[in-house]
Amino acid sequence: MAALSAANSRAGTPSGTPAKKKGSAGGKVSGTATPSKQRGMDQQQLDISGLNLNSEPAAVIVEEPPPKLSFAREALLQEAKRAIEVSDRTGKKGVSIIVIGHVDAGKSTLMGRLLYDLGRLDEKTKRANERGSTNAGKSSFSWAWGLDGTLEERERGITMDIAMQSLTTPHRQITVLDAPGHKDFIPNMISGASQADCALLVIDSAVGEFESGFERGGQTREHLLLVRSLGVSQVIVAVNKLDQVEWSKARYDEIVGLIKPFLLQSGFHSSKTSFVPVGAYEGVNLLSLSDGTELKAWYSGPTLVDLLDKLEPPARDVDSPLRIPIANVFKGQGQGAAVSGRILSGVVQVGEKLRVLPGDESGIVKSIEVEEENVSWAAAGSNVNIQLTSIDPVNLIVGSVLCPPTDLVPLATSFVARVIVFDIQVPITAGSSIEVYHHSRDVPATTTKLLATLDRSNGKVIKANPRVVAKGASAELQLTLRSTAVSGAQSVVRGIPMEPFSANKDMGRILIRRGGETIAAGIVLEITR
């Protein structure tokens, strides 16, 4: 694909204001973590290739507000950058990964087993899970119980929400987000995907199972398109349950042969995709491949951990204003409340005052936790837990965004987006009832105007004000959040925090769903109201 070849490497993010150097960090950096710098790829190009839109004007770098920066912030930025440089030479790069795939592919089993093999899941817990799952008549889920923690998940043998874990490989510090595969929990999967750098796709190779997951309406395709639309460009494909097909090489090759073209077509560069045969339940080819196993007879390539160890974290936007979309709110220690989420851009430190949008509330950062360790600061790319004080917890809502009081995120009730329409059966009309997904929030909305359909290869307008937008099209749409009142007085719609893609890429991506199906993905061009 022509668009993809443009995604070559170049160091750092585009340069910023002359006063201050725009640095870009590779790994996730924080007070005590061991960050590193790497040659990032040109995200701007990559993201756009994901949408197959080449016409995007060069990145407009948001100017930081007038230099009313306190010395403390400057010092912190310096420290963050120094830490990045140091770890570039010595430390482990941090990267987060979302585990995706059709329901029952073995995602949780794979992660549970991997955590155990890496020593992250202790013997006692493992035994308890074996006992518990056997008693519940679900012994085959004992590994999955390492991640499927709620009563209902265990009872049903289905992951319903994201589980977060961390593990280390020789050269990487990895945050793992185990996604649910079931169609109904795609909102949770999206929330997880928007917190991840890379993806691990798990495939069930059993006869009929691969096929039903990969066909139209299956989640294999939908998940891949979703993560790609959210900016993930590297994917490892683990072909699982090969024990079910007698470790057949032919079956493995068949599956790889079917998935490869789809990955390309979805905007994944072949150099950023890799495949690995595994048996999650038995732990085959996760850390190593022992002699004498049936797989060893025909496979001598990398193990899953070898591949994980090579994931490259994308460039981190440390210099832009702080943005943390809240993915979870819970009771932490002491007063206030704890929130978790990913730092999309900027840095945050203990003692800092943060604004919560939408709303008028602010809170003070009491502590920051990264990979289960307390740190004094953290930077873009980190998945953090933050304890906030001096705030009423009712004002903290999943989907709200934390930002500095001096650099607020705009609130949008109506905006223009450029989208790529997925393989849908019913075209999009003006006035379609849809849901807009932005990080961990989804809101009812309407396609108020179909502004234009665009040529996918060059972005030129094909038709202004089309009557409908059909599958495969690229289009510009005006989207407006919908009031939730059915009858009677129309209630006022509350805006949601988002930014144009040109201002902050991670704050400017949206997904559009309708009737339980993802129908389009896009970027915010302009906030109109």
Partner 1 sequence: MPSQEGAGDQNPSGGMPAASLHISGPVIRENQYVRMGAYHTLDIEPNRDVRIEKLEGWDSVARSRVEEAIVPGRGAEVAAVVCGEGTAAFCLLSQHMTIVPHRISMSIPRKAAAAGTSQHEKGLGKFYAQIFESFLRHIPYNAPSLRAIVIASPGWIRDAVFDYLSAEALKRGDKPLQKALKEKVLKVHISSAHVHSLVEVLKSPEVSHQLKEAKFAKEGIALDRFFKMLGSDENRAWYGPDHVRLASERGAIGTLLISDDLFRSSDPATRKKYVAMVEAVQSKGGEVIMFSSMHESGQQLNQLTGIAAILTFPLDVEVVEAEEKEEEEERKRREQAEADAES
Ligand X SMILES: Nc1nc2c(ncn2[C@@H]2O[C@H](COP(=O)(O)OP(=O)(O)OP(=O)(O)O)[C@@H](O)[C@H]2O)c(=O)[nH]1
Q: What is the b/e burial string over 469-488, where b = at least 16 CB atoms within 10 angstroms of the residue's CB?
A: beeebbbbbbbbbbeeeeee
Does 483 contact ligand X by CB under 6 A?
A: no
- Distance between CA atoms of residues 316 and 343, nearest Å: 10
For the bound state, the minimum distance from the C-beta of residue 393 to partner 1, rounded and expressed in Å, comes to 8
Nearer to ligand X, 144 or 368 (CB): 144
For the bound state, the minimum distance from the C-beta of residue 177 to Mg ion, rounded and expressed in Å, comes to 11
Angle between helix 219-229 and helix 186-193 axes, rounded to 10 deg: 40
Under DSSP, is residue 237 helix (H, G, I), strand (E, B) or coil?
strand
Structure-token match 């001598």, residue found: 300
Six-digit token pair at 528?
């109109």
Size of the site for partner 1 (CB under 8 A): 58
Residues in the chain: 529
**Is the CB of residue 498 less than 8 Å from the CB of residue 508?**
yes
Pick the stretch among 45-53, 84-92, 310-318, 419-427 that binds partner 1 (CB under 8 A): 419-427
Size of the site for ligand X (CB under 6 A): 25
Six-digit token pair at 255?
């599956």
Pick the stretch among 1-9, 81-89, 96-104, 472-480 that binds ligand X (CB under 6 A): 96-104
> What sign results for the dihedral spanned by CA atoms 416, 422, 423, 424?
negative
- Distance between CA atoms of residues 425 and 165, nearest Å: 38
Q: How many other CB atoms are found less than 10 A from the CB of residue 300?
A: 8
Among 129, 340, 414, 502, binds partner 1 (CB under 8 A): 340
| Ranges within 292-321 binding partner 1 (CB under 8 A) | none
- Distance between CA atoms of residues 372 and 469, nearest Å: 46
Pick the stretch among 20-28, 154-162, 286-294, 460-468 that binds Mg ion (CB under 5 A): 154-162
Among 20, 138, 182, 310, binds partner 1 (CB under 8 A): 182
Nearest Cα residue to 395 out of 369, 364, 363: 363
For the bound state, the minimum distance from the C-beta of residue 21 to partner 1, rounded and expressed in Å, comes to 35
Does 180 contact ligand X by CB under 6 A?
A: yes
Cis preceding linkage at 358, omega within 30? yes
| Ranges within 255-314 binding ligand X (CB under 6 A) | 279-281
Among 43, 44, 159, 502, binds ligand X (CB under 6 A): 159
Does 121 contact ligand X by CB under 6 A?
A: no
For the bound state, the minimum distance from the C-beta of residue 358 to partner 1, rounded and expressed in Å, comes to 14
Q: Give 296's contacts (C-beta < 8 A, 6+ positions apart).
A: 289, 290
Does 468 contact partner 1 by CB under 8 A?
A: yes
Does 241 contact ligand X by CB under 6 A?
A: yes
Size of the site for Mg ion (CB under 5 A): 3
Pick the stretch among 139-147, 226-234, 266-274, 441-449 that binds ligand X (CB under 6 A): 139-147
Pick the stretch among 107-115, 129-137, 302-310, 496-504 that binds Mg ion (CB under 5 A): 107-115
Nearest Cα residue to 91 out of 40, 41, 32, 39: 32
> What sign results for the dihedral spanned by CA atoms 76, 233, 339, 527?
positive
Does 318 contact ligand X by CB under 6 A?
A: no
Structure-token match 């079917």, residue found: 258
Does 107 contact Mg ion by CB under 5 A?
A: yes
- Exposed (0-12), middle (13-18) or buried (19+): which is 210, by Cβ within 10 Å? buried
Pick the stretch among 136-144, 338-346, 470-478, 513-521 that binds ligand X (CB under 6 A): 136-144
- Distance between CA atoms of residues 38 and 59, nearest Å: 21
Q: How many other CB atoms are found less than 10 A from the CB of residue 314?
A: 22
Does 108 contact Mg ion by CB under 5 A?
A: yes
| Ranges within 184-213 binding partner 1 (CB under 8 A) | 184-185, 187-188
**Is the CB of residue 34 less than 8 Å from the CB of residue 325?**
no
| Ranges within 156-185 binding Mg ion (CB under 5 A) | 159
Among 37, 107, 172, 272, binds ligand X (CB under 6 A): 107
Does 113 contact Mg ion by CB under 5 A?
A: no
Nearer to partner 1, 274 or 400 (CB): 400
Binding site for ligand X (CB under 6 A): 101, 103-109, 140-141, 144, 157-159, 180-182, 202, 240-241, 243-244, 279-281
Question: Where along the sequence are the contacts to Mg ion (CB under 5 A)?
Answer: 107-108, 159
